[in-house]
Structure 1
Amino acid sequence: MSPQRNTGPGPESELPEYAGHYRLESCLGSGGMGVVHLARSTSGMKLAVKVVHADFAKDPEFRGRFRQEVAAARRVSGAFTAPVVDADPEAERPWMATLYIPGPTLSDHVKRNGPMPPAQLRRLMAGLAEALRDIHRVGVVHRDLKPSNVLLAEDGPKVIDFGISRPKDSELRTETGKLIGTPPFMAPEQFRRPREVGSAADIFALGSVMVHAATGRGPFDSDSPYVVAYQVVHDDPDLTGVPEDLAPLVLRCLAKEPEDRPTPDELMRELRSAAASYDTQAFIPPQRANDVPSPEARVEEPRRRHGKRPLRSVVLAGVAIVLVIGAAVTALSVGGPTPASDAATPRTTAHGFHAWEAKPTSGGGAAQCSYGAGKLLCTQSRQVFALDPSDGSRLWRHTLTGVEGDGPPVLSGGLVQPSTSKGRHLEALVPSSGRTRWQRNMPAHGAVRASGGMLLITGTDGTVTGVNGASGKAEWTGRIPGQSTPYFTSFAGDTLAYATSTSDDGSSTHVTAVDPDTGDVRWDAHLDGSLEPFDTEDGSVYFLSIDPVYGQTKALVIYAPVSESTRTMVLPVRRELARATVHAGVVYLLAIGGSLDALDMGTRKRLWHLETSVSRGSTPVVDSGHLYFSAADGRLLAFDTEKGRLVGQTPPRLRTNSDRVMAALPEPVLADGHVYATAPDGTVFAVDGRDPSRW
């Protein structure tokens, strides 16, 4: 693909071809902050990738604001937003990737189709109340909820855009006293006392959004932003055209004083009483869904209203009111302990195990760990370190040069292999000391996967090289038949590596099982559907069956290569961004939003279902009686696998203003009855897996 021309401001003549590992396929929108691209992950998932303009990438203040956007988007990723998949605020051109969700903005929908009917209005209001509940629950105030920031997806509205609309507007004033905002969707306190704005401002904005959805205009309407600002603070809202059964609730949302407005939970209770009359029809017909780009892939443009001048962000000079920047976010306090010392802190629990926690490095973000050679091996930013699993003391630390850890280290060929697909070379370390045993150059934009004692390196031309993990020498080089650019998946205890590719229409998946020692193909299969392998057990491969349009998991598939047979279990409810593991024939499926299912693949029945209230969790791990996963706020949770109930959880450990986002939350590590986990504040900790109730 040739580089794309930049259509936004800035001197650069061409846009990058890649953002991290993601190839940028087409430009979806451009504006003051940067350019948004349609991209695909290695598995084929559609993403919307924001890439900051080169000029702004050089500005430290703007980089700080972009980190704020990433941190806020990360914290609110869930069922009611466009979930963050990956980000790199420190890249030469900072970028953030979110799930691409087909559907128009509310602004576009009203512009094209006119006001919404009453049943759809109730569905919209309920969905936005649910979204704000989850956003506020993780300590974020959106502060710029408006029709262009509401995406009408097939499964309900999504709230997007937790970033900044212009650079250098992070303070309450600008260099000339000019202040920026969109008055019709701002609360009175945003004009009167902006430093005290809280979550109730989002409820006021919700009321204004509902009036727009019902009438095509706002509750305060004027061509002059000065007049609108005065109306918001002093005048009663105009609810003409709002359905009678919704008008009282909308009016409560538009109360002048924050304390007089309902909370999201109160809104949902009010709306639940009318649930029987809800219209469950999607906001947009399915045939239109692919024609409308996701607004996460849009940059704010003028939106024309019926019979009015364009509604736009306006600049007010010399006015004693504050119009804060579009989509600024305010972080609320986040609970949980923040250890101040790098030293391990042991705590004796039942069974004589000493629970501990430590901060092994000063680097930010959650470490990613694995267990090998009797040690806990971790990567954090450009640091690789080994911890004593008994007490958390650091045994050694190694700084990576020219590479950056991307996933937990693995033990291959008896050496520690930091996952370094973001770097220029591979580096293998001695597990007893952390010293470098060998280095090897990586191809540009290449990918590496450890499988047994081998490292499989895939170049952009599709050539695969099998490198001996012990010596660093290439054992074989070649192509994998039928796989144009094979990216491999491997699983603990499995001697094979798996390459998958999905047809363009998502109707079939080609799976190739490769012997990593020789590159020989052991078996090859073409299976129905868009499939992603997630685990193996007893010689069979387990897949998630993904809807190729909306990215939801709709079924589970087992393929047994010996008999060349498949078994499919259709899920009772489709799941968003599901992560799964299998144990003794039971698949445990955790989705965005916190739904957790136990599914018996032998009987094809759901054993139990639980709503965990975790907005985003890691891949679950299972032992003989418990399931564990980490939450985005740093909690480790444990569930009884037989009864499906929560039996223990640790305190949150979420670092304030965290700007580190990973493609997936680090999953816990199980070893010798103990559970090792990491948190966004940099803590690594260990607890007794046999007694979660004492955590």
Structure 2
Amino acid sequence: MTPQRNTGAGAEAELPEYAGQYHLDSCLGSGGMGVVHLARSTSGLRLAVKVVHAEFARDPEFRGRFRQEVAAARRVSGAFTAPVVDADPEAERPWMATLFIPGPTLSEHVKRNGPMPTAQLRRLMAGLAEALRDIHRVGVVHRDLKPSNVLLAEDGPKVIDFGISRPKDSELRTETGKLIGTPPFMAPEQFRRPREVGPAADIFALGSVMVHAATGRGPFDSDSPYVVAYQVVHDEPDLTGVPGSLAPLVLRCLAKEPEDRPTPDELMRELRSVAASYDTQAFIPAQRGRNDAPEREPSGVEPVPAPRRRFDRRAALATGALALALGGVLTGLLWPGDDGAPTVKKSGTPAVSAGFAAWRAKPAGKSSGMPQCVHAAGKLLCLRSGVAFALDPANGSLLWRRAVAEERTSYAPALSGGLLLLPTNGSRRVVALDPASGAPRWQRDLPAHTGIRFAGSMLLVTGTDGSVTGVAGASGDTKWHRRVSGRGTPFLASYDGDPLAYAAATSADGTYTLVTAVDPGTGTARWEARLKGSLQPIGSQNGSLFLLAVDPASGDATGVVRYTPASKAVRRAALAVPLTAPQTDVRGDVVHLLAAGGSLDAVDLGTGRRLWHVETSVSRGSAPVASARHVYFTAPDGRLLAFDARDGSLVGQTPPRLGTRAGEVASALPAPLLVDDRVYAASPDGTVFALNGRDPSAW
């Protein structure tokens, strides 16, 4: 089969030219599980052909799911769905061809045109009720009805994508710990009793879809899926903006108990009584430009709202507690606890190199708390509540352990001047240990309201008066003390492999930032640059400094900047939408940004454009870490996630490991450590683990 190249965002590097007898003309959309192509039959009939990603085609479990999707789609083919024309779930790359239906998805339409008027909402609701009636009549429950799965055709709405649908008599059960569906459009029973989900769940989803069509948002709204899940189960829906003639009916659809919701037939009767002049004419979407072709989104892919709503900080504070409350569904199975002794368990993940196998260790017994680790001196050197320890990176065995007076610092330990420096006592003290044995070497108390930064062999301590003190890591002695530049407490940054530290001070009006490159050993300035805008250093690569541009008023990130001091060249790239509190990583010219709300973006400063964007549904994740193949980060529930560096698709994740502090939210999560092809990470239950970075799909 001759591959065709497709360099579009989100597309696979190589795509098949044919699916069965159908020539694949162009890519309509790409998601986590497959790619949807526009194709033509030999008679010229236009088709939408879904082709499974190669990596999932090798997974027997996924093949079983795809076979069921094909079977469900065939059972419901009718006036309100996209009819199945052909399929081959047993092919090397399984595929399914449905009739191509021109028209935007509901999510596209609302994004471009805003909320629908009342008459269109009535027709939409009636059309979806009829579609669900026909779907349920053949014994199928869709389970993922959402705006991106509703096509607005000229003759009425069409329900598409039966990727997670289930026949009511299916023997295929939801696996323990897996969340099946899209949280803002899921019914309470999908979180509480996922094995008992019936047709009424689709009616609840219809109510949520109607709120979205009427207002542009959902009835339960947050950037955190955990918060949305809690709201769906416990809170009343927000129907602000829903027309008064439809609000009571929508509210009935959103009843917490399945038996309290109307059936599709009852919905249609109610709609006829709501408006005697009910209009059954077709829904005709607004006209689109010639180049404005619809994009089909495979299951699980939602368009990004524009402009993106600000992250709900209250949701961030509640995320940990809600994850515990919903742990039976959202968190899966945790590893068993131990008897207080350090444990090391081997995994079956393929070895990265000779002598290495994936492992996990819990060096601090039954107590929990997320360890902060650094890979240095041939060891994993870690700090966790009340204890410091060293692990062998090859197998996770405990090398030494020592009690320390640590009170949940957000700073990771560092190797400086040949010693392990630990911020302890709420970062009011620094303790130096011998990395070989854990024996103490020196300690130093710090003034209140100071910041610290490890840079090479030095500890840099910033004061509120704008001064910086250079402390030798080897001895704890003060080597220099001076005011660097700017106003107030300077923002200091340093990066592995870069001999300099960077102080950034933004002007009072936010119009410019003074960046100073400082020699950590002496405190002298190597160079200084006055750059436009409010900027924060985020990384350095190949002699260039990378910075994040932020809005002085909101604090949201608006762009990324590359400054090359040798040539004084400045390159800027604006973000498509502002991002709230993004964590960042720089590799080459590519900046990866994980926003507080869960969106992950890759921006290439070589070309000045965004490479890809994906919604991860992870609130307040760690800083991402990128290799040539993958982008990794840690979630607050302890999962390690891996995304394809080419297109942003999710390629692997570990189980959640919340531990006994599931009701707490860490102020900062440690980023994974990438060493060659190994990935080291930690979780809230106190576990440290190592995995094969080459094959995240095996996690």
TM-score (normalizing by structure 1): 0.58
Q: 1:457 touches 1:466 (CA, 8 Å); kept in 2? A: yes
2:368 paired with 1:336: no
- Aligned residues of 1:403 and 1:425 also touching (Cα < 8 A): no
Give the drift of 1:493. Answer: 0.9
Would the alpha carbon gap of residues 545 and 481 (structure 1) be closer, same or farther in structure 2, given more than 3 Å must change?
Answer: closer
Q: Give the SS at the match of 1:354.
A: coil
Aligned to 2:613: 609
Q: Which residue is equivalent to 1:519?
A: 523
Q: Which residue of 1 aligns with 2:249?
A: 248
Q: Deviation digits for residues 564-593 of structure 1, max 9, x if unmatched?
A: 221101122332322221212122222233
Once the two structures are superposed, the pairs formed by residues 465-504 of structure 1 within 5 Å of their partners are 465-504=469-508
CA drift at 1:117: 12
Report deviation, 1:358: 1.1
Does the 8 Å CA contact 1:634/1:653 hold for their aligned counterparts?
A: yes
Structure scoring higher RCO (CA < 8 A, sep ≥ 6) equals 1
Alignment deviations for residues 482-506 of structure 1 (CA, whole Å, 9 cap, x no partner)? 2432231111111111112223333
Cα pair 1:628 1:638 within 8 Å, conserved:
yes
Q: Residue 501 of structure 1 aligns to a residue in which SS?
A: strand
CA distance in 2, matches of 1:587, 1:261: 47
1:428 equivalent in alignment to 2:432: yes
* CA deviation string 1:176-224 (max 9, x = no partner): xxxxxxxxxxxxxxxxxxxxx9865536x11xx42xx46xxxxxxxxxx
Q: How many Å apart are 1:260 and its aligned residue?
A: 3.5
Paired amino acid for 2:433: L
**1:29 matched to which residue of 2?**
none
Letter in 2 for 1:253: L
Task: Please list every run of 5 or more consecutive structure 2 residues that lacks an aligned counterpart in the other structure.
Answer: 1-114, 122-145, 148-180, 194-214, 272-282, 288-304, 316-321
**Structure 1, unpaired ranges of 5+:** 1-115, 142-152, 163-196, 215-240, 298-326
Counterpart of 2:234 (choices 202, 221, 230) is 202
**Is 1:624 paired with 2:628?**
yes
Taking structure 1 as reference, are residues 394 and 612 closer, same or farther at Cα in structure 2, changes over 3 Å only? same
Task: Specify whether residues 603 and 253 from structure 1 end up closer, same or farther in structure 2 by C-alpha distance, changes over 3 A only.
Answer: same
> What SS does the corresponding residue of 2:423 show, helix, strand or coil?
coil
Contact kept in structure 2, 1:406 and 1:420, CA below 8 Å? no
| Matched residue, 2:142 | none
Residue 528 of structure 1: how far off its partner (Å): 1.5
Query: Which is greater in Rg?
Result: 2
Answer yes or no: is 1:355 the counterpart of 2:358.
Answer: yes
Matched, 1:376 2:380: yes
Tell me, yes or no, if the aligned pair for 1:379 and 1:405 is still in contact at 8 Å.
Answer: no
Structure 1 counterpart of 2:411, from 407, 418, 427: 407
Contact 1:132 1:202 in 2 (8 A): no
Show CA shifts across 1:603-624 (max 9, x none).
1122233333333421111223
Partner of 1:549: 553
Kindly indicate whether the alpha-carbon contact (under 8 Å) linking 1:383 and 1:405 is maintained by their aligned counterparts in 2. Answer: no
1:621, 1:336 → 2: CA distance?
26
Aligned-residue offset at 1:476: 0.8
Q: Which amino acid aligns with 1:250?
A: L
Q: Do the aligned partners of residues 137 and 686 (structure 1) sit closer, same or farther apart at CA in structure 2, a change above 3 Å counting? A: farther
**Aligned residues between the structures:** 452
Deviations 1:430-449 (A, max 9, x none): 00011110111211222211
Q: 1:328 to 1:650 in 2, by over 3 A?
A: closer
Distance in 1 between residues matched to 2:464 and 2:691, nearest whole Å: 42
Structure 1 segment 54-133 matched on structure 2, within 5 A: none
Aligned amino acid, residue 575 of structure 1: L
C-alpha separation in 1, matches of 2:655 and 2:362: 16
* 1:449 alignment partner in structure 2: 453
Amino acid of the structure 1 residue aligned with 2:347: R
Q: Hey, what does 1:308 align to over in structure 2?
A: none
What is the percentage of aligned positions where both structures have the same residue? 45
Amino acid at match of 1:407: Y
Partner of 1:677: 681
Instruction: Give the one of 683, 693, 697 matched to 1:693.
Output: 697
Q: Secondary structure at the match of 2:697?
A: helix
Residues in 1 aligned to 2:217 and 2:509: alpha-carbon distance in whole angstroms: 21
SS in 1 for 2:499: coil
The alpha-carbon deviation at position 539 of structure 1 amounts to: 1.4
1:386 equivalenced with 2:420 (yes/no): no
Shift in alpha-carbon separation, 1:258–1:275, aligned structure 2, 3 A:
farther
1:648 aligns to 2:652 (yes or no): yes
Q: 1:261 & 1:159 partners in 2: Cα distance?
A: 21
Does the alignment pair 1:505 with 2:505? no
- Is the 2:361–2:687 Cα contact (8 Å) retained in structure 1? yes
CA 1:259/1:497 → structure 2, altered by over 3 Å: closer, same or farther? Answer: farther
Distance in 2, Cα, partners of 1:366 & 1:532: 27
Secondary structure in 2 matching 1:419: strand
Q: State the Cα distance separating 1:332 from its structure 2 match.
A: 4.2
Separation in 1, partners of 2:697, 2:323: 40
Q: What is the distance in 2 between the residues matched to 1:464 and 1:511?
A: 15
The code of the aligned residue for 1:516 comes to P
Distance in 1, Cα, partners of 2:581 & 2:387: 29
The answer to whether the aligner puts 1:345 opposite 2:377 as a matched pair is no
The answer to whether the Cα contact below 8 Å between 1:402 and 1:424 also exists between their aligned partners in 2 is no
Between the aligned partners of 1:198 and 1:413, the Cα distance in structure 2 is 48
Deviations 1:64-107 (A, max 9, x none): xxxxxxxxxxxxxxxxxxxxxxxxxxxxxxxxxxxxxxxxxxxx
8 Å CA contact 2:429, 2:444 repeated in 1: yes
**8 Å Cα contact 1:118-1:243 kept in structure 2:** no
Contact 1:598 1:606 in 2 (8 A): yes
Q: Residue 339 of structure 1 aligns to which amino acid in structure 2?
A: P
User: 1:606 corresponds to which letter in structure 2?
Assistant: R
Deviation string, structure 1 residues 280-337 (Cα, Å, up to 9, x no partner): 99999xxxx9xxxx9969xxxxxxxxxxxxxxxxxxxxxxxxxxxxx99944423132
Contact 1:131 1:158 in 2 (8 A): no
The alpha-carbon distance between structure 1 residues 275 and 394, as it changes in their structure 2 partners (threshold 3 A), is farther
Counterpart code for 1:249: V
Query: 2: distance between equivalents of 1:549 and 1:448?
Result: 26
Name the amino acid aligned to 1:689: G
Contact 1:370/1:410, CA 8 A, preserved across alignment: yes
Alpha-carbon RMSD: 4.2
